[in-house]
Chains A and B, each alone.
Chain A
Amino acid sequence: MKILVVDDEQDVKVLFQQRFRKEIKKEELDFVFAFSGEEALKKMASMEQEAVLILSDINMPGMSGLELLKKIKENYVAPPPVVMMVTAYGDEENRSTAKELGADDFLTKPLDFNELKSKLKDIV
């Protein structure tokens, strides 16, 4: 299963690769990274057929996570990819907006990787 991680912080990539090195080694999970909403849309276009889970930050310059979410839910009708939004601690406003836009799940920053792992296992 492919997981597209969208975050403007470059080191998120290294962190995920370290945190999921066992899963990556065993090829249970396949991570793809994008550093902006725009880049995420491009990456998605190039891997259309594959089952995709998107994990996106909200607070990004340029296209925000919410806009990305809106675009994804509008453009990918069948079957729409699962989108998990990462929100800052206590940011209820963004959380409810994301829910309205069709976000499937939420994670709060700072990321609890154990929680994320169990959630991924459920989906896979």
Chain B
Amino acid sequence: MILEPLVLLFIVWHIRKNLRLLSPNTLWDKYLLWAMIGITILFIVEKTLPITMVTNWIWHVLILGVGYLIFRLPVLERMRTTLIAVLPLIIINIIEDLVEIIYLPLYETIENYLDFAFVFALTWMIAMLIRSNKQNKALKTERKKTLAEEERNKFISAQKEKLEVIVAERTAEITKQKDELMHAFTELKNTQSRLIQSEKMASLGELTAGIAHEIQNPLNFVNNFSEVNKELLSEMEEEIENGNLEEVKALAKDIIGNEDKIMLHGKRADNIVKGMLQHSRSSTGKKELTDINALADEYLRLAYHGLRAKDKSFNATLITDFDAALKTVTLVPQDMGRVILNLLTNAFYAVQKKTTEQIEGFEPTVGISTKKNKNTVLITVTDNGNGMPKAVKEKIFQPFFSTKPTGEGTGLGLSMSYDIIKAHGGEIEVTSEESTGTTFIIQLPDAIPNH
């Protein structure tokens, strides 16, 4: 029988091949090679010497041993189909040999059956081998696929690692940049608050001349009316001596009227000093009931006289239109005062600049008006200066934007005004026509009106 050595050879070859795939160059590779050589030598010996009776049984034992191994070891799982394919043939073979040894006459009786079984087993083997071949092929392509996939996964994970390194680098860079930016930001904030403070001081300097003028006038009145009253009182004494009661009464009335004037002008000076102190102090941020009309009037005078003190030749027509229906509005007086002052300073600057162009018939005019609407309060500042082009108009609320020569404007006026108005829940709008003039309108919510 030639089948068993061939099957053995095949199986050993197969095992060796698989082993090589798993881990090449092991000792087992050598042993299995020797096993194959051994099988071949035994096969040749069997064919040349009459020892078939012995070799047959060697084959049987070998193949059963290998079969046992194949069923026991999971590593050899793939050989099982091959084994199942040849197993019927081998079993028939062994039975044949057994019967031949044990009881020869029985062999002759069952020989026909055995031949029949042999053909069946052969057919079985061929069918099984074809099937296993197909399966193997499928398995192979599957293996190839998984291999390719593994390769790809390896590649991807390598890429991923590379990427992770890059990402880590970038993240570190960004974090550093962020820290630097944060630092720059706090520095900027500090600078800004310092600038705001110095801008406040600068505008106070601009105001001092106006303040001096504005305090001088009421003080003059206080002094003058006091002197008049002194005169009137001594006259009154005379009239009392003379018993001229009518005259005494008339004098008393005048004196009282003058006292009112003294109080009024004293208060006026007082307000200006208070306003000045408020202006230079940091804002308390506290909202108070404020007489917007008085606030606007006060700052109009201060801004105007402040400018006049610097430029004696300058003059402008002031137009005020204060809505008497507007009594008090809740707001932070220092802050809103600064907004109004900023707008007025800008307006005066605009008309002053236009004055230097010596346009025939140009009358520099600055107006401020207030208006009470249903739920809002409007404060409007207008001028007939040269206005501004669209490109300038778009930027005026940006901090540090200024078209004025260095030293004359920090460009913080309007941006600060904008912030203050926003903090009051209000809006500021500007309309400007080149060479015609500019109007700023502040709209504030009238939360607690007319107390």
Contact = CB atoms under 8 A, between A and B. Distances in A.
B317 A62 contact: yes
Contacts of B261: 11, 14-15
Contacts of B216: 88-89, 109-110
A61 interface: yes
B318 A61 contact: yes
Main secondary structure of the interface of A (DSSP, over half): loop
A18 B221 contact: no
A24 interface: no
B316 A110 contact: no
B220 A59 contact: no
Interface in A1-38: 9, 11, 14-15, 18-19
B56 interface: no
A61 B224 contact: no
Contact of B315 (A62, A93, A111): A62
A18 B228 contact: yes
Contact of B213 (A11, A14, A19, A88): A88
Contacts, number: 51
B228 A110 contact: no
Contact of A19 (B228, B305, B308): B228
Given A88-B213, A110-B223, A94 B312 contact: yes
Contacts of A88: 213, 216
Categorize the interface residue count of chain A.
Answer: 20 to 34
B312 A93 contact: yes
Given A59-B308, A61-B315, A63-B315, A113 B224 contact: yes
Contact of B217 (A9, A61, A93): A9
Nearest to A65: B315
Interface of A: 9, 11, 14-15, 18-19, 59, 61-64, 67, 88-89, 93-94, 109-111, 113
Given A15-B221, A59-B305, A62-B315, 16 more contacts: A9-B217, A15-B228, A15-B261, A19-B228, A59-B213, A59-B308, A61-B315, A64-B315, A67-B315, A88-B213, A89-B216, A94-B312, A109-B220, A110-B224, A111-B220, A113-B224
